[in-house]
Amino acid sequence: MTLWRIDTAAQTLVLGSDGGMTCCHYWGAPLALDTDLDALVAAGAGGITGGMLDALPPLSLIPEARRSFPGQPGLVAYRDGAPLEPEWRFEGADWGEALILRHTAPGLRLDIIARAMDHGLIALSARLTSDAPLTLHHLALALPVPPHLSHLTEMAGRWTREFQPVTTALDHGARLRDARTGRSGHEHPPHLWLTARGTTNTVGEAFALHYGWSGGHRMLVETLPEGRRQIQLGHCAGSERAPGTDFATAEIWLARGDQGLNSVSVPFQRAIRDRLPPARQPRPVHYNGWEAIYFRHDADELAQIAERAAALGAERFVLDDGWFGQRDDDTSSLGDWVIDPHKHPQGFGPLIDKVQALGMRFGLWFEPEMVNENSALYRAHPDWVLGPADQIRGRNQLHLDLSRQDVRDYLFDRISAILSAWDIDHVKWDHNRLTPWPDAAQTRGVYALLDRLRAAHPAVEWESCASGGGRIDAGILGRCARVWLSDSNDALERLRIQHHAACLLPACATGSHVGPRECHTSGRVLPMTLRAWTAAQRHMGFEMDPRELTEAEAQTLTRVTAWWKANRGWMMAGDIWRLDRPAGALAEMQLAADGSRLVIFAAQIETQTALQPPPLRLTALDPAARYRLRMIERPRGHPASVTAITRGEVVLEGASLMAQGLALPPAFPQTIAVIEGERL
C-alpha cells in the first residue's frame, strides 16, 4: 500500500491497493465499468463512482465480518442483544473541505471522512448513525499494510519514563493494544510507525499514524495467513458504555516519508504547532515551585524563591499543588477549589503583587477531574464519583463523573471564580490517577469543560499534565498550548524522553525544566551544564529550590537561560531533526523555518565505545549552501580531545555536512556539546 494524496480541488483520494483488502480509492470523474482498477492505482489514481457501484464492493475502510473477511472486523456492535452485521452500500461522495464517503444499510449510515491537512498529512475519521439505539463495542478505521513495511514501532513507557520506542518485526498473527486507562497514557501514547527494514532517523521509508483522542485507543496490527495485513485504530473497546444512535472515531493522522523517521516526524511537529491555541509570545521561561516546596506554602519563603527565580531569568511563576482547602498532603481537599485562608490569608494578592513586581506573570495548578474523600465536595456529593464505591484508589483520590452536566457546571463555577478574581495567565491542568474504566463520555466531558473555560477566559494559557506525560495527543493539544512531558527532571531521562517525543511534539509545546541538583525521581546528581542545556532544547523552565544553587551553578543557568531567550523566537517556530548516533549518545538539530539558523545538541550519555566518535552527519540542509558553525558549549573530556570545531569557527557546505558530517571531540559521559550554525 502506498499513501499518495488527497486533493479536494481535483476531487482525488488515493490511499492504496493491496489486492482487494480494505482500502479506499476514489476518483471524482466517472469511470467506465471496464476500467482496470489495478492499472489505474498503479498509475497513481484510483476510484469508484457512478455505474461501478453495483459491480464493486463498498468503498469502506471498515473490514466487514459478513463478507467472510477472515481478520478482525472494524465494527462490533449489538442491537437488542444481537450482533449487528450490516450490508453496506456505497451511496456516493460529497466534496467540500473534506471528502465524505457515504454508506448506508437498513436503519444505518456510515460516513468515512478524509481531509487534506497542511504539511502533507491526511486525516481520516468515521461516523456511525442509527435510527434506533445500539450498543457499540468497537469502531475503527483500517488501513492495509504493505509487505515491505516490516517493522512496527510503538511508544511505551511509565511514570517518569515516557515515550520509549519499542520495535517489533511484523510476522503472522495479530498484535493488539487496548489502552484502557482513560487517557492517552504513559504506557501507550497513540503514536506509532510502520517502517521498512533499515529505517533510521534520516534514511528509509516510514509511515506514521496518530490517533487524536485523549481517552484511550485500540490498535490492531494483523497479518493473515495469506500474507495480507491491516492496521486498525479507534477508541478503546467498550468505552462507549451507554447505548446510542450517534458514534464517531477521532481522527487518525497519517504521514508517509522516504527519508527516515524525520520525514514523518517533522510534518507531525508542524501540524501540532498549527493546532495549538494562541499563546503568549515570546514563550516565557517558567518557574514551577513543586519540587522546591511541595505542599508547604509559606509567604516569606515563596517571596524569597520568586526573587531568586526572577534573578535567574524566570518570566512566569507557577504555584503548584497545595494552595486550596486544607491541602497539606495528597489525602485531602481535591474538589474544594477555595484558597486556603491559613496559607494565603489575603488570597493570592500579595504573591501576585510580588511576582509581577519582579517582572513575572502568575500561573496556578488545578486538578479539576478529581476528588478526595476527605473533602467538602465528596461529603456533599458522593454520587458525583465515577465508578463503584469499592474501586481501588489511586493517589488517595477518585474520579469525578464529567459526563454529568451538573459536575461540569460546579467545576466551571469554582475554577472560573478563581480565574476571574485574580490576575492568572496560566493554568497547569493535572490528572493524577486512572479512570476506573474506559469511558468515552468522560473524555468528551473533559473537552467540554476545558472548551467552556477557555471561551470564558481567553487570556489564560492551559498546560496539560497527567502525572507528567500521561495525556499527550492531538485532542488535548488543540486545547492546551503546552504539555508537561514528564515528572522526571533527571536530565539524562529527559534527553531520551523529549528526543523520542519529537516524533510528534514541536519544541514550543514541550515543557522542560531544570530540576534539583539531586533529582527527586532518580537520585542522580548531574552537572548544571547538562541540566540547563537539556531544558533549553524545548520550552524552558526551572523546577527546584533556586536557593540551593552554588554561585557557579547559578552563573551557568543564567547564561544558558539568556541564550535561550535570545534564540527562542526562531527555535519555537522551527523544526526538530533527530540525528543518527551510536548507542549511548543522542543528537538533534533544530532548524529555523527558513533554514537560515540552526543549533545542534549532541549529548554523550554513556561512555563511548570507540575512542573517537563517528562524525555527526546533519540533515535537511541546502546542499549548495555554505554554513558557518561554532561550538558554544564544549563537552567535558580529556584536554587532548580536540577537533576543528573545538578550535574555532568552521565553514562547510551543506552537502559535506550531510554526507561526511562534523567531527566531534571525544567526550566524557553525562556531557553535552552545543553548536550554533548559520547559512551564509
- Catalytic center residues: 430, 487
Closest by CA position to 470, among listed 451, 447, 486: 486
Contact present, 63 and 73 (Cβ < 8 Å): yes
Q: How many Cβ atoms from other residues are within 10 Å of residue 416's Cβ?
A: 15
CA torsion 256→257→258→262, rounded to 10°?
-140
Provide φ and ψ at 230, rounded to 5°: -140, 155
Q: What are phi and psi of 601, to 5 degrees?
A: -115, 115
Query: Whole-angstrom Cα distance, residue 595 to residue 610?
Result: 33
Determine the Cα–Cα distance for residues 674 and 387; give it in Å rounded to an integer: 50
Please report the sign of the dihedral spanned by the C-alpha atoms of residue 460, residue 253, residue 113, residue 137: negative
Radius of gyration of the chain (CA): 26
Measuring CA to CA, how many Å separate 497 from each of 155, 272, 477, 530, 585? 10, 18, 18, 15, 13
Partners of 130 in beta bridges: 108
Q: Which H, E and C letters describe 241-303, residue by residue? A: CCCEEEEECCCEEEEEECECCHHHHHHHHHHHHHHCCCCCCCCCCEEECHHHHCCCCCHHHHH
Please tell me the distance from the alpha carbon of residue 542 to that of residue 560, in angstroms, as a whole number.
12
User: Contact at 8 Å (CB) between 3 and 122?
Assistant: yes
Cell numbers for 153, please give them: 514501532
Number of neighbouring beta carbons within 10 Å of residue 393: 11
How far is the C-alpha of 317 from the C-alpha of 315, rounded, in Å? 7
